[in-house]
Chain A
Amino acid sequence: MTFDTNDLVLSLPLLFLTVAGIVLLMLDAFSRVVLVGRDHHLKLPAETSEAVAVPPPGSRNYLMPVTVLFLLATLAIIVWQAGSLPESTVLIYRGMLQVDRFGLLVAGVCVVAATFGVISAPSYMRAHRMEFGEFYALVVFSLCGMIILIQAADLVTVFLGIETMSLGAYVLTGSWRRSPRSSEAAMKYFLVGAFVSGLLVYGIALIYGVTETTSLHDIKRIAMSRGTAPLFYIGWMLLVVSFAFKLGVVPFHMWAPDTYEGAPTPVTGFMMSCIKVAGFAGLIRLLQGTLPMLARDPFTGWTFVLSWLAVLSMSVGNLAALKQDNVKRMLAYSSISHAGYLLVGVVALGTVGDAARGPLLFYLASYALTVVAAMGVVSWVGCDERGEERVRLSDWAGLGKREPMAALLMTVSLLSLGGFPPTAGFFGKFYLFQSALGDDKLLWLILIAIANSLVSVYYYLRVITAMYFREPAPHPATTPMQSSAMKLGVLVATLLVLAMGLCPSWLSSLCAAAKF
């Protein structure tokens, strides 16, 4: 078995992140030993029996900056690699991973979004007394899984990536141990995830049975030359279904609202942005990269299937979001509807072709950044004396007066989610719809998407209305998180959202150039 050292260089982002994760885990472990040894006399809250195992608050403060440094270094590696990438596609590790501009761009988006998620985490965890150092390592390991998924060139690596990514997310979801909701969320997420893994493996097995290969390139070649058997259809349909589960697409979305609501807010932001981005990248590689010839078949082509999933996802997500009084849950439903808009982009990939990939990537990036910024504000708003999160609309009343900065940033994020210029969300929608209109047959889908964005305006405005037009509740129950790092993170993320809306050229040309 030969081993090409060039593979190591080409997979440097992934390797670096893996090492970073291990280092973070070690740092956490050693800081625990040292601190518990030195500070065992420290008085801890008596009410918690597990307090002995918890080091004093603040002892792990340095983990967040270290993680951020690691992530920024990864980003630098990705940028450097994108600059030195050869034009043709490079397969590494004997065809298991594929290094190309598309993968690097999406990985970069994930890393940026994860960075903003990590920045807002420490103060949130401190306020909820759930500090634990593995958080950072888990985020990084989950990111590794995402990069594997994004760069996968083989069904086995697709599976490996999805599982690595999800395992981290399961633990992170349940990491708020005192909250029954968090445990419930993790349980639901895990059970659905395990079920989905079964579907995924079964689908892979069927495809392997027909084509005798798991390599995406070989599958494409065989499907092109020999046509496809019915079992092959069932196989890829199972793959689409398992991706639909992971992405929270209606009717496979039942876990999503509870999981997104129950998970700690920084984790919710991480899942809503990064997992969605990585999952869509995997889906794009699978459908447009591997099965472009199956796109346009009437009734059995994937554009037909996905366009109906898109309609369902947009409509159900939006209608359910209308009724929510819980901001976090509302954003969870809105993320379901955004998965629908993104599916419109995937459908356009099937009918319009490569020209639609840039817009879809732009939308993914704009959505990821916006949702991380919004979730950052949800963390910022904080909790009441009992440690309950303040996520009810009534808690947000008068936020414009109490916390003008948080309210302003949330307003920008919500306007971006609703698609108002001059924000990233507007340009993303605009660009996506423009590319989809390249095929006249998609006009109906665009009109449904437009009707849905109209509905969504109503519930985004409800939050803005609560923040600015309502008087605050008489008792000042909210404890806003006072961490300047978090505030800075949310501010930078929001400024990026505005910058992407005002001068979208740089990102849109990057997206348009992101080829397989």
Chain B
Amino acid sequence: MSMILPIVTFLPLVGALLCLALPREEEQLHRSVGIGTALVTFFASLFLLSGLEPAKMNHVVDLAWVESLGIRFQLGVDGISVWLVLLTTFLLPIVFLSTWSAITDKVREFVVATLILETGMLGAFLALDLFVFYVFWEVMLVPMYFIIGIWGGTERLKAAIKFVIYTMVGSLLMLVAILYLVVKAHQVTGQWSFALSTIQKLVLSKPEQIYLFLAFALAFCIKVPLFPLHTWLPLAHVEAPTAGSVILASVLLKFGPYGLIRFAIPLFPHAVETVAPWLAILAVIGVVYGSCVAYAQDDVKKLIAYSSVAHMGFVVLGLAMMNSRSVNGALYQCLAHGISTGGLFLCVGVLYERRHTRKMAEFGGLWQRMPVFAATLLIFTMASIGLPGLSGFVGEFLVILGTFSAKERAFEGMPAMFESARLLSAFAATGVVLGAVYMLWLFQRVMLGPLSNPQNRKLQDMTARETVVMLPMLAMAFWLGIFPNTFLQHIDPAVTQTLTAFKEKYSAGVAESGPRMLGDSVKAKVEEPAAPGGNP
């Protein structure tokens, strides 16, 4: 058994414990430990790529945790999760470096919280056991709450509590759904198991599937955030410190799509045929609505927050369409959004550190004082708009293409889901146009025009440290735009595999008379009368 996955997952935690052992006053030391740990984790995670077989789980770890309940510590990585893991480990050193001078208060606590958060994120991306997934999912919540609440802006208390409560609403319902699934599986097989591979085989009736799907999807759609569940996001983004915003936008939001494609969609195929069209419609509303609201903002961070709502709408649209093009596009868009929006938030951080305001009206004409910064911001802006050759293009293009060419039936045997997919794609495409409008408007108001505000006259361009922070992000923005195959070669087989499994489970039909397991329908039918009534 290869132990690379636990090592990658728990390295940040080790760093956090190390920080706790060091004296509080050594702030530089804590920062260095933070960056060092994050870098080591990044290099360790690069090993995941070598010899990866994207269509199956690699480096699987399977250890007993709570034997009597069938909880096993199962981790694994496939083509869907590998790039999200790498996105996480890639961003964390950048986040630490970017906060070198921004966070001066309680440095040790910041480093510890961020490293624990990294462990939570990596664990949740890698977990193959529903219990383990839930534990890591919740573990992410507390450090983020502290990051917003301690180092955030003036409304940070409200933002932090709102963030936690919103997330908890979804995740507690998801917990009930997980328990329900496990109990049902136990009634059929007589064994306790939280393993995704076991639960995947469980066949339930259609109403059950719909309720359970909604419970899972609520948790994930709050994270995405899907319109109309997005209202926590602007507040959290605006109030969080730069580091918090970057992690939130680039990684935490990705748990929404990841959870949908890994758990909600494959587990409940018959719910998907009913609910997916609604998800698609909400996603398109989110795209248009997010874009319009973003245009109306005066606060740079808020604008980018609403742009996230729009961009993540594309992701959900792609997932809901359930064809390989659109799902590939959705997952690609996750990575692209992580880089471009993360970069934009870093740029806002650069501005905020200098002027301590985020109001667009305070800026204008900064190009004259900060040419390097202006070029950086321009590239991220273009990447966000989806200019061909930059990161945003491939994902949005694939999603719109997948939606436009979506057949009425996702595959043979499914009822018609998307009679008006072309209409949806048309509306989604307006999102791209609107995106260009608000992003260029942002760029114009901050960077171009006369340098009218006297406070901006003395602004310094980016320092060497800030440039070092931006360079890898810029490189990735280009790489994602120019060599999409680097990423799609892993994502595509995994998506194909997921869709195949989906079709397989779908064609096994629903359970009319009590739950059964996939593959042994005959045997389950015989055992049926004894199973549901008896005590476990």
A contact residues vs B (CB 8 Å cutoff): 352-355, 415, 420-422, 426, 430-431, 433-434, 437-438, 443, 446-447, 450, 453-454, 457-458, 461, 465, 468-469, 503-505, 508-509, 512
Question: Smallest Cβ distance from B118 to chain A, in angstroms?
Answer: 16
* Distance between A287 CB and nearest chain B CB, rounded to angstroms: 17
Pairwise interchain contact A461-B175, C-beta atoms closer than 8 A: no
User: What's the least CB distance linking B202 to chain A, in Å?
Assistant: 14
- Tell me the bound Cα distance from A90 to B250 in angstroms: 62
| Residue in B135, B173, B182 whose beta carbon sits within 8 Å of that of A434 in the complex | B182
Whether B511 sits at the interface, judged by CB under 8 Å, is: no
Among B138, B139, B157, B169, the residue within 8 A (CB) of A454 is B169
The answer to whether A508 and B66 have CB atoms under 8 Å apart is yes
Cα separation A422 to B165 with both chains bound (whole Å): 18
The answer to whether A447 and B69 touch across the interface, beta carbons within 8 angstroms, is no
Interface positions of B (Cβ within 8 A of A)? 65-69, 131, 134-135, 138-139, 141-142, 145-146, 149-150, 156-157, 160-161, 164-165, 168-169, 172-173, 175-176, 179-180, 182-183, 535-536
Q: Is the CB of A504 within 8 A of B164?
A: no
A-B contact pairs, 10 of them (CB 8 A): A355-B535, A420-B138, A421-B135, A426-B135, A434-B69, A437-B176, A469-B149, A508-B68, A508-B69, A512-B68
A454 lies within 8 A of B168 (CB): yes
Q: Are B149 and A450 in contact (CB under 8 A)?
A: no
Question: Given A353-B535, A469-B157, are A505 and B138 neighbors across the interface (CB < 8 Å)?
Answer: no
User: With the chains together, A454 CA to B142 CA distance in Å?
Assistant: 14
> Contact partner of A461 among B161, B173, B180, CB < 8 A?
B161
Nearest-neighbour CB distance to chain B for A234, whole angstroms, equals 30
Residue in contact with B138 in the complex, picked from A421, A434, A437, A443, CB distance below 8 Å: A421
Interface of A is mostly: helix
| A454-B68 contact given A421-B134, A433-B179, CB 8 Å threshold | no
Look across to chain A and name the residue whose beta carbon is closest to the beta carbon of B149: A469
| With known contacts A415-B142, A447-B176, A509–B536 Cβ distance under 8 A | no
In the complex, what's the smallest C-beta–C-beta distance from A323 to chain B, in angstroms?
16
Partner of A468 from B135, B146, B165 at Cβ < 8 Å:
B146
- Are B161 and A465 closer than 8 Å at their CB atoms? yes
CA–CA, A86 and B176, complex, Å: 39
**Closest B-chain residue to A353, C-beta based?**
B535
Which residues on the A side are within 8 Å of B164 (C-beta)? 457, 461
A421: min CB distance to chain B, Å: 4
Q: With A352-B536, A454-B168, A512-B68 given, name 5 new contacts (CB 8 A).
A: A438-B536, A450-B172, A450-B175, A458-B165, A469-B150
Inter-chain CB contacts under 8 Å: number: 82
- Contact: B536 with A505, CB < 8 Å? no
> How far is it, in angstroms, between the C-alpha of A352 and the C-alpha of B180 when the chains are bound?
14
CA of A426 to CA of B137, assembled, Å: 13
- A446 and B176 contacting across the interface, CB-CB below 8 Å: yes
Contact in complex: A430, B536 (CB < 8 Å)? no
A438 surroundings in chain B (CB, below 8 A): 183, 535-536
Residues from chain A with Cβ under 8 Å of B65 in the complex: 503, 505
Determine the chain B residues whose CB is within 8 A of the CB of A465 once the complex forms: 149, 157, 160-161
Name which residue of chain B comes closest to A352, CB basis. Answer: B535
Q: B172 to chain A: which residues have CB within 8 Å?
A: 450, 453-454
Taken together as a complex, chains A and B put the C-alpha atoms of A422 and B132 apart, in Å, by 10
| Contact across chains for B536 and A468 when beta carbons are under 8 A apart | no
A505 with B175: CB separation less than 8 A: no
A454, A468, A512: the one contacting B150 at CB < 8 Å is A468
Alpha-carbon gap, A104 to B404, bound state (A): 68
- Judge whether B146 and A420 touch: CB under 8 Å: no
Note all chain A residues with C-beta closer than 8 A to B149: 465, 468-469
CB-CB nearest 9 A-B residue pairs: A421-B135, A469-B149, A437-B183, A353-B535, A450-B172, A421-B138, A434-B179, A505-B66, A437-B179
Docked CA distance A93–B161 (Å)? 56
User: Which chain B residue lies CB-closest to A420?
Assistant: B138
Q: How far is the CA of A421 from the CA of B124 in the complex (A)?
A: 13
CB of B66 within 8 A of CB of A469, answer no
In the complex, chain A residues whose CB is within 8 Å of the CB of B68: 505, 508-509, 512
Chain A residues with CB below 8 A from B135, complex form: 421-422, 426
B219: min CB distance to chain A, Å: 12
Return A438 CB to nearest CB of chain B, in Å: 5
Q: Write the chain B residue with the least CB distance to A427.
A: B66
B179 cross-chain contacts in A, Cβ below 8 A:
430, 433-434, 437, 446
Chain B residues in 8 Å Cβ range of A512: 68
Task: Report which residue of B149, B172, B173 has the largest number of chain A beta carbons within 10 angstroms of its beta carbon.
Answer: B172
- Contact status B536-A355, CB under 8 Å: yes
**B182 to chain A: closest CB distance in Å?**
7
Residue in A closest to B532 when the chains form the complex, CB atoms:
A440
Q: Cα distance A512–B536 when bound, in Å?
A: 13
Q: How far apart are the CA atoms of A374 and B403 in the complex, in Å?
A: 54
Chain A residue at smallest Cβ distance from B151: A469
CB closest chain-B residue, reference A512: B68
Do the beta carbons of A430 and B175 come within 8 Å of each other? yes
Instruction: Please indicate the chain B residues that have their CB under 8 angstroms from the CB of A422 in the complex.
Output: 135, 139
A458 to B68, CA, bound (A): 33
The chain B residue sitting closest to A351, CB to CB, is: B535
Task: Provide the bound-state CA to CA distance between A333 and B517, in Å.
Answer: 44
B134 partner residues in chain A, CB cutoff 8 A? 421
Determine which residue in B67, B141, B142, B168 has the highest number of CB atoms from chain A within 10 A of its CB, and name it: B168
The CA-CA distance from A503 to B183 in the complex, in Å, is 22
A418 and chain B: residue at smallest CB distance: B168
By a CB distance below 8 angstroms, the chain A residues around B165 are 454, 457-458
Kindly provide the distance from the CB of A428 to the nearest chain B CB, expressed in whole angstroms.
Answer: 13
Residues of B contacting A426 in the complex (Cβ-Cβ under 8 angstroms): 135, 138
The CA of A505 and the CA of B141, in the complex, are separated in Å by: 25
B183 near A434 with CB under 8 A, answer: yes
Complex CA–CA separation, A420 to B134 (angstroms): 10
A430, B161: Cα distance in complex, Å: 23
Indicate if the CB atoms of A433 and B176 lie closer than 8 Å. Answer: yes
Q: How far is the CB of A45 from chain B (nearest CB, A)?
A: 39
Chain A residues near B180: list those with CB within 8 A: 437, 443
Bound: A458/B182 CA distance, A: 29
**Nearest residue, chain A, Cβ from B24:** A404
Output the nearest chain B residue to A355 by Cβ-Cβ distance: B536
| A355: min CB distance to chain B, Å | 5
Residues of B within 8 A of A443 (CB): 176, 180
A433 → chain B closest CB, angstroms: 6
A420 touches B69 (CB 8 A): no
- A433: which B residues are within 8 A, CB to CB? 175-176, 179
**Chain B residues positioned under 8 Å from A447 (CB to CB):** 176
Bound Cα distance A167, B68 (Å)? 40
CB distance from B1 to the nearest CB of A (A): 20
CB-CB under 8 A from B141, the residues of chain A are: 420
A261 to B169 Cα, complex, angstroms = 31
In the complex, the chain B residue whose C-beta lies closest to that of A501 is: B135
Collect the chain A residues with CB atoms within 8 Å of residue B156's CB.
Answer: 469
- Does A420 contact B150, Cβ atoms closer than 8 Å? no
Which residues of chain B are within 8 angstroms of A415 by Cβ–Cβ distance?
142
Residue of B nearest to A411 (CB): B142
B157 touches A450 (CB 8 A): no
Compute how far the CA of A434 lies from the CA of B70 in the bound complex, rounded to whole angstroms.
12
CB distance from B519 to the nearest CB of A (A): 25
Task: Decide: A420 and B536 in contact? CB cutoff 8 A.
Answer: no
Bound CA–CA A330/B157 (angstroms): 20
Chain B residues in 8 Å Cβ range of A457: 164-165, 168
The distance from the CB of B176 to the nearest CB of chain A, in whole angstroms, is 6
**What residues on B are CB-neighbors of A508 within 8 Å?**
66, 68-69
CB atoms of A431 and B69 under 8 A apart? yes
A453 to B165, CA, bound (A): 11
